[in-house]
Each structure stands twice: as C-alpha cells, then as structure tokens.
Structure 1
Amino acid sequence: MGTDTGRAESALSAVAAGEPVVLVDRDGHGVLAFAAGHATTSLLAFTVRHTSGFVRVALRAETCDRLDLPPMYGSDEIHRVTVDLDGHGTGISAADRAATIAALADPSSTPELFTRPGHVVPVLAREGGVLLDDSTVQATSDLAELAGSAPAGAFCELVSAEDPLGISGPDEAGLFAAEHGLALLSIGDLVAYRRRCAPGLRRGRRSSVTTAYGRFDTLDYTTPSGEVHTALLAGTPEDGVDVPVHLRRPCLAREALGPQACPCGRQTDAAILAIAARGRGVVLNLRQASPPSTCTEQDADSFESDVDAAIGILSDLNIRSFQLIPEHRDGRPRAGTAVGSGAVSR
C-alpha cells in the first residue's frame, strides 16, 4: 500500500478529482468518503448501492450556524437537523440527495434553500480536524479541505459482502477499493500526513519558574512565523491520559488591564488554580501576531491555528489524551487525543 504519507496523497488527489475514497476508521470499519462539493447523481447512486445508505455530511460549526442547522432535538451536539434542498423532488433519490449535499458545501447557500426535516444528515466537524479527534467526521472534513474543497465531506459505511447485516472490516475495505480502483487510506494515515506536512514548531529549553500558583516547568515553542507559545507544566503530565489542559489565548484587554478586564482572565486564574491543586496538568499560553482586543473577537481561522499549535505541543509532550478546563462551548473541544508527533524540532 505504500507509506502513510503516500496513501494520504493518493487519496487527496482522488478527492480533488471528484472521486470517492475508501477510508478505514479507528474501529477498522470501511467508509466511503468524498468531498461534498463534488456530489453527483452517479456518485450518490454508487454510494447508496454499496453502503448502509445513511449518508452524512461533515460540516464546520460556522457552516452549521450560517445554514441554521441546530442540533437535532433529543440528540447530541454532533448530529444536526436533517435537510433536503427545496424544490428537488422527494429528497430521497440519488439525484435529490446529491443536490442537497452539494448545496450544503456551497458557501453561497442560505438557510432558505433547505426544507426540514429531510434525507441528508449534517454532522458537526470541529476545528482542529483529526489532530484533535481521530473520528470519521473529522477525517472526512479534513480530506475535503486538504484536497482544495470546502471543509465539507460526505461519508457512509460500506456494507460487508460476507455479512449483509454488518459493516465491512479492513480486509474487505481493501478488496472493495482494489475492485473499484479507489484510493485506500486509514485515519491514522491522515493523522500522520497532517503531522508531517504541517508547519513545524521549534522546541526551546526547559526551565522552572515559581508563581503565585506554585512551581511550574516552562517550555517555549516557536512557530515558523516567529510567535512563541509557552507551555507551563505542573507535575509530570508527559505520557499521561486525561491530562488537564487550559488554553490561554491572546487578549489585549486582559494583557493591558489585568485578568479582571475580560472573562478569559478569570477563567485562566481558575484553571491554573485547579491544575495546581491537582498537581498535574498543562497551561498553554498561545500567541498571535495580531491579537484581538478581547477574547470574544477571536475568529475561526485564528482558533483553528491555535488548536493546531496546541495539539502539536501536546503531542510533543507525549500526552495521549487530555481534558480542557474550563470546558469550551459553541462546538469547541471538550476533550481530545494528541496523536503522533514528528512536527516539532529540538
């Protein structure tokens, strides 16, 4: 099959060309995935014929907000209200669903274009992609974006040829990909690709500092553009699971007027106290070239950049999983897995 980077590159070329790819998820199940913006009648017909038919579309939070797609009633935050593109038949045919999926990926679409409920299921893909959560939702969104499309990907599980009531395993997924001439990759391949191809962080020297909250070790990480992020380490969080982590993001009001000038300052104080009390955890002090006046002015691009930097640092520290404190709202991460390293030089 080649290297993980080679498999990811082949899959991205296929997605960019409008082709589906076979993705093996973290549970070993085969999934058919493609960029939502490339949805066609023939592609949906092929998908429905070989999968469970429960087609979902991974969308970022800003797209869900723009299209007025709140969480489905009684469901979790991930699954959003189902939709059909208005004026396209019953919504269930391959042509109807292809039109709906393509419209969900179109940045010019508006909420009024869709009827609710429908036959296409939008699901929330969080900022940070597979570096934050190695799920199928995140992987499908990443595939579309890395292939040059909007970060909107459609996916559905392949049905097992040996067990019509089951989902295909990795061996069957490989055979299916070979039979139909499709690119094959795993989510692990995509994680490795993002880690290796992302801009690298340069790690500085480790030192210690005594603060009002207690004693911390410090590590600086420099980005290619010159920003310096600092990690404050309480105890020995390395090689740990469920490590408490707080992201301290830029805020001019807090820096100029003190921690009481903005809610983020009070949150940081409380988070550091909690980490110090536990005797274990990480506070990431993230920097930006042009920080916002207040924490409420953070845009989606800067948030995703901060998440990528945070995941890179946590990966370098060999932190396998973490819990953010305080918990973030509005579709932002509450927990995650720092997978792989390889993006930090020392």
Structure 2
Amino acid sequence: MQVNTVDELISDLRQGRMVVLVDDHTEDLNQGVVMVAAEHCDAGHVNFMARKARGLVCLTLTEERCRQLDLPPMVDVAMGEKSNFTLSIEAAEGIDTGISAADRALTVQAAVAPHAVPADIVQPGHIFPLACVPGGVLTRAGHTEAATDYARLAGLLPAAVIADILTPEGTLAEGQSLADFAAEHSLKIGTIADLIHFRMVNERTIERVREGEINTAFGPFQMTAYRDANEKGVHIALSRGSISAEEPTLVRVHVQSTLRDLCLTEVAGRESWNLSRCLQAVAEAERGVIVLLARDESDERLLGSIDMALGTADAATQSSPDIYTSVGLGSQILRDLGVGKIHLMGAPIKYNAISGFGLEVLEFVNA
C-alpha cells in the first residue's frame, strides 16, 4: 500500500482537508477511517462521511475535554476494543432534529468550542464522542488516538471527526479497498504505524526507574522497572539472555489477574499463561522478556474471574478490557529492552500498528 508521510497528512489537516487513516502498510486485516480536524468540520465533511464513508460519525475527544463537558462513558463497565464511547450528544441550541449534516457539524463545533460548558450540549444526540486515552497512540494504537494525535500535531485542538469506511456492500473496507477509496476522493492516506514511529523519535510515555538482577523460583532474571508518565503506574519487565532486535525473542505482555497468577486457576477449554508458566518458559528458552503491566483489578473483573473458575460463567464472553490499552505501553517497554522479532506467548489476536514500534510478531505460542 502506497501511503503519504505524517508531515503530508499534518499539512492537509491544518488546511481543513480530510485524510484517510489506516492501521499499517499491510493489505490484510487493515481497517481505516476518514477524518478531519474537529475545528474545521463543517456540513460538507459530515455529509461526505455519512454518504461516502458510510460509517458512524464520531467525535474524538481527550479525557480533559470529556470532563470539561461532563461526558460520562456510555456504559459503566465497558468491554472490548470499542469501550471508549461516551454518551451521544446534541448541541443545546441552534439545531432542528439534530440528524442533518449541518446540525451534526454544529454539534461538533459546540463541543469543541474553547470555553464550552456542559450546558452547551444535551444527551442523547446524533454525534458519538469517543474518549482518547492519555498518551495517544503511544498508549493505544487505535483510530481514536491517531486522529486526536494528528489534530494536535497540526497545531489544532486535539479533537477530530472520524467515520469508519465501509464498502458498498456494507462491510468494513480493508487493504486495497481503503487505498482505492482514498484515490477515488483524492484524499491522502497515512498509517497509525507511521504516526507511532514519528512520535517515538522524540517521545516516550515510560521511563526506567529501577534495574538489577533478582532471584526467582526459576533462577535469576534481570528486572527493569518503568514508570508510566500518564497513569503514574509502575510496570516491571523480567528478562533473561541476550536480547537482540534481529533475533526472535520469547515475549509475554502480562496483565495481572489474582486468581490466575496467585491461585494458578485454570478454566476448561481456555488456554492461559499464568506468571509461573511464563517464567518457566523463558527460563527454558534461556532468552525472553516478560512485561508485567500494573492494572487495578476491579471488583467486577475479579468476580468475573471467580465465576469463570467456578464454571458459572462462559469464558468466551469474558474479554480483557486491557488488551487494547496495554499494547502501547508493552511495546514501548519491549523496544527499550531491544526486542524486535517476537514469539508471543498468547492467543492469536490482531495488534494494531505495532510495526510503528519496530516490533514484529512471528508466531503465537500456546500455553
């Protein structure tokens, strides 16, 4: 896929033009959105997104802006990749039914006005805000974060209007279909992976705070502790052997789970890597990295794990809310440690744009 540079996209966004954002340079499983900086959004942009892109018209906002507008999450305990929707909104004044392109553009402008207050919008409405996670694509490599980052890099308010691109048949456009869409409408096309690489040249959201050798039940490991500049959490990497970007490295990016890691529980029909298994696998391979990401385990999440262990809940319905927000943190830590090619301990899943961190998953290793 032939794509434009980050600087080229920034230039177009600064001038109020739309661009297409895709995950990576690959043609497989590569989804995309059309976006415009929120400050420049008008009825023509909304109409194009509704009629040509065909996806849901959404407004990306920072957490600070969501608090400024008193916008809570759409649901209290959201699950999965699309867990960052807030309540839908409408401008409080100046609109008719709210569904027209002009009305939706006015709603966007009301929400992103410099001194906007909660009284400027009402709920529900026909614009669907999405809350960007702190750190942008360096924390979560999603379209929400990429669009927000691009608007900020263009010197504009960190907010954007986006819509998924669908095919005429109503399915998500992928790969060459996205390139054809951009070419048909004379839109520049860029990747989240390139944006990550662009930001990684000068930015990090993690820093080393401690390092040294520790002893474990599986022998000595090199421990490196990192502090997250956004959430202020401390994350730990345990490594063994000589780590090289050119040599495949056994890797696990691990989010803590009380029952799985302390009680070593197993769920029938569901393979999982507990911390003990991870340490043993790296010790046997004599080279590898385990990244332990600090995450508060909510009461609801712990009770869900208990229900699965007791066999009273379907494991297939329980997906970790941390998968998508942990990719950026884990990737930054792996790159800092020198990892490049990865044999990943975990179930096969699509990880958005990790090539921007200089990482490549060669294979998934079952527990």
Say if 2:117 is the partner of 1:110.
yes
- How far apart, in 1, do the equivalents of 2:224 and 2:76 lie? 43
2:196/2:357 contact within 8 Å kept = no
Aligned to 2:238: 234
Evaluate the alpha carbon distance shift between residue 340 and residue 32 of structure 1 in structure 2; reply closer, same or farther with a 3 A threshold.
closer
Q: CA–CA distance in 1 between the matches of 2:32 and 2:356? A: 22
Aligned-partner residue type, residue 21 of structure 2:
L
Letter in 2 for 1:234: L
Tell me the residue number matched to 1:150: 157
Partner of 1:316 in structure 2?
336
**Cα distance change on mapping 1:197 and 1:10 into 2, 3 Å:** farther
CA contact (8 A) 2:16 2:37 kept: yes
CA distance in 2, matches of 1:61, 1:106: 15
Aligned match of 1:21? 19
Report the counterpart of residue 49 of structure 2 in structure 1: 47
What is the percent sequence identity of the aligned residues?
29
3-state SS, counterpart of residue 69 of structure 1: coil
Equivalent in the alignment of 2:35: 33
Q: 1:340 to 1:188 in 2, by over 3 A?
A: closer
Counterpart residue type for residue 19 of structure 1? R
Q: Tell me the CA shift for residue 194 of structure 1.
A: 2.1
Say whether the 8 Å CA contact 1:322–1:336 is kept in structure 2.
Answer: no
Whether the 8 Å contact between 2:253 and 2:293 is mirrored in structure 1 is: no
Q: Are the aligned partners of 1:37 and 1:103 in contact in 2 as well (CA < 8 Å)?
A: no
Which residue is 1:208 aligned to?
Answer: 213
Q: Tell me, in whole angstroms, the C-alpha distance in 2 between the residues paired with 1:125 and 1:200.
A: 15
Give the corresponding residue for 2:306: none
TM alignment of 1:79-228, pairs within 5 A: 79-87=85-93, 88-160=95-167, 163-198=168-203, 208=213, 216-218=221-223
Q: How many angstroms does 1:60 deviate by? A: 1.6
* Unpaired segments ≥5 residues, structure 1: 222-229, 246-269, 286-306, 324-334
Distance 1:340 1:51, change over 3 A: closer
Distance 1:198 1:114 in 2: 35
- The answer on whether the counterparts of 1:315 and 1:340 sit within 8 Å (CA) in structure 2 is no
Partners of 1:169 and 1:54 lie apart in 2 by 17
Q: Give how far 1:7 is off.
A: 2.0
**Distance in structure 2 (CA, Å) of the matches to 1:93 and 1:316:** 48
Q: Distance in 1 between matches of 2:222 and 2:65?
A: 40
Contact 2:225 2:237 in 1 (8 A): no
Q: TM-score, with normalisation over the residues of structure 1?
A: 0.64
State the distance in 1 between where 2:290 and 2:52 align.
46
Measured after TM superposition, the shift of residue 22 of structure 1 is 1.1
Partner amino acid for 2:238? A
Aligned to 1:303: none
Deviation at 1:336, TM superposition (A): 10
The alignment's TM-score, normalised by the length of structure 2, stands at 0.61
Matched residue pairs, number?
A: 275
Q: In structure 1, how many angstroms separate the alpha carbons of the residues matched to 2:77 and 2:204?
A: 37
- 1:189 Cα deviation from its structure 2 partner: 2.3
Counterpart secondary structure, 1:28: coil
* 1:187 shift after superposition: 2.0
Q: Give the corresponding residue for 1:261.
A: none
User: Partner amino acid for 2:222?
Assistant: D
Shift in CA distance, 102/34, structure 1 to aligned 2, threshold 3 Å: same
Is the 1:78–1:123 Cα contact (8 Å) retained in structure 2? yes
- Structure 2: 5+ residue runs without aligned partners? 227-233, 242-248, 257-261, 263-273, 280-288, 295-326, 360-367
Partner AA of 1:176 in structure 2: F
* TM superposition outliers: structure 1 runs of 4+ over 6 Å: 199-204, 274-278, 307-310, 319-323, 335-338
* Aligned equivalents of 1:16, 1:148: Cα separation in 2: 7
Instruction: Report the counterpart of residue 320 of structure 2 in structure 1.
Output: none
Deviation of residue 110 (structure 1)? Answer: 0.6
Deviates more, 1:232-241 or 1:52-61: 232-241
Displacement of 1:167 in angstroms is 2.7
Summarize the Cα distance change of 1:106–1:310 in structure 2 as closer, same or farther, 3 Å threshold: farther
Structure 2 CA distance for aligned equivalents of residues 200 and 56 of structure 1: 26
Does the CA contact (< 8 Å) of 2:204 and 2:332 recur in 1?
no
Contact 1:25–1:31 under 8 Å retained in 2:
no
* Residue 9 (str. 1) matches residue 7 (str. 2): yes
Amino acid at match of 1:37: E
Q: Structure 2 counterpart of 1:171, which letter?
A: Q
> What is the CA-CA distance between 1:234 and the residue it aligns to?
2.9
> Per the alignment, in what secondary structure is the counterpart of residue 74 of structure 2?
coil
1:239–1:62 Cα change, 3 Å? farther
Output the CA distance in 1 between the equivalents of 2:189 and 2:65: 28
Distance in 1, matches of 2:140 and 2:206, equals 20
What SS class does the counterpart of residue 171 from structure 2 fall into? coil
